[in-house]
Amino acid sequence: MCGIIGVAKKTNTEEVLGMLKRLEYRGYDSFGIATDSVFEKEVGEIKPVQNSECNMAIAHTRWATHGSVTRENAHPHSDCSNKIFLVHNGIISNYQSLKAGLKGHVFKSETDTEVIAHFFEEKLKTMDIKEAVKEFFRAAAGEFAIVLMIKGDSNLYALKRGSPLSLGVTKDGNILASDIYAFSDKTQDAIFFHEDEFAIISKAGYEFYRMYDDLEPQKKEITKVEWSGTVEKKYDHYMIKEIYEQPEAIERLQLSLQSAQKEKLENLKEMIKQSKRTVFVASGTSYHATLLGVYFLNQAGVEAHTMIASEFQNFYLVDKDTLIIAVSQSGETMDVIEALHGMKGKGAKIASFVNVPYSTIQRMSNVSVNIEAGQEICVASTKAFTNQAVGLAYLASLFNGGMDFQKVTNSIKHIISQEQKIKEIAKTLKKKEDMYIIGRGFLYPVAREVALKVKEISYIHAEGMMGGELKHGTLALIEKDTPVIALVNGKTEIVSNAMEIKARGGRIIPFTNSDTTLGDPININAEDELSFALAATVAGQLLTYHIAREKNLPIDKPRNLAKSVTVK
Ligand code: F6R
C-alpha cells in the first residue's frame, strides 16, 4: 500500500506534504520527505515540517508491510552514502535474495524497500541509470512503484510494475503520484504508467520507456481528467459527511445511469446475455455489494455468482464464456487486479463498477461503469457501498423492468432522521466486546456489511450471519444481554431466529419495517428490497459511527487499515 509523491518543479515542503496528505488514505503509519536540502521522517500521521523551498522532492506515507512502524522503517530510504533516496509502494518479494547479493552494504532498516537503494548504489558504480533500471526490472520480483532522487542530478527516475503510478503535467513542472487525487488541484493533465514502464522526469519534461527485452522509448497520451465530487469538510469526520451524502450520491448516479452511461449499461446487458455466466469479484465491503448484485440478478432470472478476490483462483473456474464484473471503490485493490489478470489470461471478458475514475481496474475493463459516489475519504466505505448496490440493482432491473430510485433515497433519509435514537442505542453498546447481526435473503449481505463497519470503526468484534445458520453453532455464544441486531423484514423465519436469541437472554435490536415484539426498533420505512437493504445499512453505519464517537476512536483512520489495499 502506501502513497508516494515525486515533484520536479519549484516547490516547498508545505506544498509537497499537502499533496501527500491527499494520499493518506493509502496508509498513515509514518511519513517522510526528502528534498534537495531537507530529509525528515516520523512515525504517525503527516505533520508539518519546517517549511523550505526546493526544486525537487520525494515523499511517502506508509502502511507497514515489511518492518514494524518505526522511524528507521519509514521512507524515504537511502543508500550507504546517502546519495540515492527513494520512495516505494509495493513489495519486493525477493528482497532477501537481493540483499544477500549486496555484500558490504550497511542496512539501516528492516524493509524490503531499502534494498532497492543499495541495489542502485551498487549498479551505478559500473553503469548508467538506464542500464541499472534494466537490471532492476530483471532482478526484482513483486510489485513496485518507485521514485528515485539522486543528489546532484536534476531528474527524478520512476519505475512501475504492479503498483499504480501517474504523472501530473503542470505548466511549471511535473508531479509523480500514486494516484491523480494528489495533484487534482494543480492540473487536469495526467499520464498513466503502464506495466514495466520507466520514466525520467524533470521540471522541463518527461521521457517514458517500456521494458521489453530492452528499454524502448514510448509515446504517451495525456488524459484530460475531469474532477468530480468535493473534498471540503464541514463535519467532525468524513465518515458522517459521507453517510449524509448518500441520498445525493444516489441521485447523481441515477442521472448518470440514465443519460451519460446509458449506452454502457446497454452494452453490459448485452455482454451478460452473451455470456454463459456472470461472476463478480471484489473484496471487503465491495464484496458485500456484489452479494446484493447476485441476489438481484438471480431474482431477474440471470445466473450470477460472486467470489472474494483473494481466493478467486482457488474456488472458481472461468473460461472465455464467463463475464467477470469487478466491483471496487478505489479501482486499485491488488487482490482484485491479480484475479483479473488471471481471468484475462483465460479469455474472460471484464466489466467493472468503480468509483475512482481512471483507476487500474477501470483501465483493465472492456466496459466500466462509474458509480459516481464522489471522492470517499474515510477509510470505511459508506456511500461507495450504497452506490455500488444501487448500480448493480439497476443493472438487474434492466432484465426485469425498472427500479424506483426515489424510494431508496426516501428510505435512507428516513433513517438519517432517526439519528438521535441510534445515538442512544450506541451509548448502550460502547462497552460490549461482541455483537451479532442476522439477516436472511437480501438482508444477509447487509448483516455482513454492518458487521464489517462495526469491527473496523468501533473496534467491537462483530459477526454478520445468515439468520438460519445461528442454530448450527453460533447460538452457543449468546449470553445474557449479548447484543444482536436482527434485520427483520416481516418474514416469519427471521422473527423466529430472533426469538431463539431472546429466549436465551440475548438483547435484540430490531431494524424493521413491521411490528414486532422483539424490542424497541429502528424503523425501516421501505417498500422494496433494495430500499430496505440500504436503509438498514445506513442505520448500521450511523450506529457504528456513534459507538466509535462514544469511545473516542480515530473514526476516519482506524488503526492498522488503509483505504486502498494495494498489496496481496
Ligand atoms: C471497508 C472497506 C474495505 C474495502 C476493500 C475493497 O469499509 O472499505 O473493506 O471495501 O478494501 O476496496 P475497494 O472497494 O477499493 O476495492
Long-range contacts of 226-231 (CB under 8 A, 24+ apart): 226/188, 226/357, 227/184, 227/188, 228/357, 228/372, 228/374, 229/373, 229/374, 229/375, 230/374, 230/375, 231/22, 231/375, 231/377
The enclosing H or E element of 462 equals strand 461-466
Q: Is the pLDDT of residue 224 over 60?
A: yes
CB count within 10 Å of CB 230 equals 11
- Characterize 299-335 residue by residue with b for buried, 16 or more Cβ atoms within 10 angstroms of its Cβ, and e for exposed: bbebebebbbbbebeeebebeeebbbbbbbbbbbbbb
SS3 43: strand
Confidence class for position 162, pLDDT limits 50, 70, 90: confident
**Residue 228 has what pLDDT?**
60
Which residue's CA is the nearest one to ligand 1's atom 3?
284
The active-site residue, picked from 241, 349, 557, 563, is 563
Task: List, edge to edge, every strand of the sheet that includes 277-282.
Answer: 304-308, 277-282, 322-328, 349-354, 367-370
Q: What fold characterizes domain 231-403?
A: Rossmann fold (3.40.50)
The answer to whether residues 68 and 34 touch, using CB atoms and an 8 Å cutoff, is no
Question: 380 CB less than 6 Å from ligand 1?
Answer: yes
**Residue 292 has what pLDDT?**
98
Question: 329 CB less than 6 Å from ligand 1?
Answer: yes
Q: Is the pLDDT of residue 360 over 60?
A: yes
> Which region, left, alpha or beta, applies to residue 481 given φ > 0 means left and ψ of -120 to 50 means alpha?
left
**Residue 231 has what pLDDT?**
54
Of how many residues is the chain composed? Answer: 568
Question: 565 CB less than 6 Å from ligand 1?
Answer: yes
Q: What amino acid is encoded at 24 in this protein? A: E
- In the reported structure, the alpha carbon of residue 280 is separated from the centroid of ligand 1 by a whole-number distance in angstroms of 15
Per-residue pLDDT, averaged over 354-362, amounts to: 89
**Residue 275 has what pLDDT?**
96
Q: Is the pLDDT of residue 490 over 90?
A: no
Q: Is the pLDDT of residue 173 over 70?
A: yes
Confidence class for position 229, pLDDT limits 50, 70, 90: low
CA atoms of 17 and 50, how far apart (whole Å): 11
**Residue 554 has what pLDDT?**
95
CB count within 10 Å of CB 273 equals 11
**Residue 567 has what pLDDT?**
73
The best mutation among 283, 287, 356, 449 to test binding of ligand 1, ranked by most ligand atoms within 8 Å of the C-beta, falls on: 283
Sequence-separated (6 or more) residues with CB below 8 Å from residue 390: 250, 253, 254, 371, 405, 408, 530, 534
Percent of the chain residues topping a pLDDT of 90: 86
How many CA atoms does the CB half-sphere of 451 hold within 13 Å?
Answer: 25
Sequence-separated (6 or more) residues with CB below 8 Å from residue 76: 32, 33, 34, 39, 41, 58, 59, 60, 85, 86, 87, 149
Ligand 1 atom at minimal distance to the Cα of residue 284: 9
pLDDT tens for 17-38 read 999 998 988 888 999 999 989 9
The enclosing H or E element of 374 equals none
Percent of the chain residues topping a pLDDT of 70: 99
CA atoms of 42 and 21, how far apart (whole Å): 14
The active-site residue, picked from 2, 9, 160, 241, is 2
CA atoms of 351 and 329, how far apart (whole Å): 14
SS3 368: strand
pLDDT tens for 438-488 read 999 999 999 999 999 999 999 999 999 999 999 999 999 999 999 999 999
SS3 559: coil
Residue 426's Cβ-count burial label (10 Å; 0-12, 13-18, 19+) is buried
Confidence class for position 256, pLDDT limits 50, 70, 90: very high
Task: Concatenate the DSSP letters of all residues of 118-163 into one string.
Answer: HHHHHHTTTS-HHHHHHHHHHH--EEEEEEEEETT-S-EEEEEESS
- In the reported structure, the alpha carbon of residue 83 is separated from the centroid of ligand 1 by a whole-number distance in angstroms of 38
CA atoms of 110 and 567, how far apart (whole Å): 18
Q: What amino acid is encoded at 447 in this protein? A: A
Cis amide bond preceding 48, omega within 30 = no
Residue 385's Cβ-count burial label (10 Å; 0-12, 13-18, 19+) is buried
- In the reported structure, the alpha carbon of residue 512 is separated from the centroid of ligand 1 by a whole-number distance in angstroms of 27
CB count within 10 Å of CB 475 equals 15
CA atoms of 82 and 38, how far apart (whole Å): 12
* Rg of the chain over all Cα atoms, to the nearest angstrom: 25
pLDDT tens for 380-429 read 999 999 999 999 999 999 999 889 999 999 999 999 999 999 999 999 99
**Residue 568 has what pLDDT?**
77
SS3 442: coil
**Residue 356 has what pLDDT?**
87
Residue whose C-alpha cell reads 468484534 in the numeric block: 461
Is 383 in the active site? no
Is 2 in the active site? yes
- In the reported structure, the alpha carbon of residue 379 is separated from the centroid of ligand 1 by a whole-number distance in angstroms of 8
The best mutation among 181, 336, 565 to test binding of ligand 1, ranked by most ligand atoms within 8 Å of the C-beta, falls on: 565
Query: Which superfamily, per CATH, for 3-224?
Result: Aminohydrolase, N-terminal nucleophile (Ntn) domain (3.60.20.10)
pLDDT tens for 263-322 read 999 999 999 999 999 999 999 999 999 999 999 999 999 999 999 999 999 998 889 999
CA atoms of 369 and 388, how far apart (whole Å): 10
Domain boundaries along the sequence of the chain: 3-224, 231-403, 416-568
pLDDT tens for 201-222 read 999 999 999 999 899 999 999 9
**Residue 233 has what pLDDT?**
59
How many CA atoms does the CB half-sphere of 259 hold within 13 Å?
Answer: 7
Sequence-separated (6 or more) residues with CB below 8 Å from residue 431: none
Average pLDDT, the chain: 94
The CATH number of the structural domain formed by 416-568 is 3.40.50.10490
Q: Is the pLDDT of residue 170 over 80?
A: yes
231-403 against 416-568: fold identical: yes
pLDDT tens for 91-110 read 999 999 999 999 999 999 99
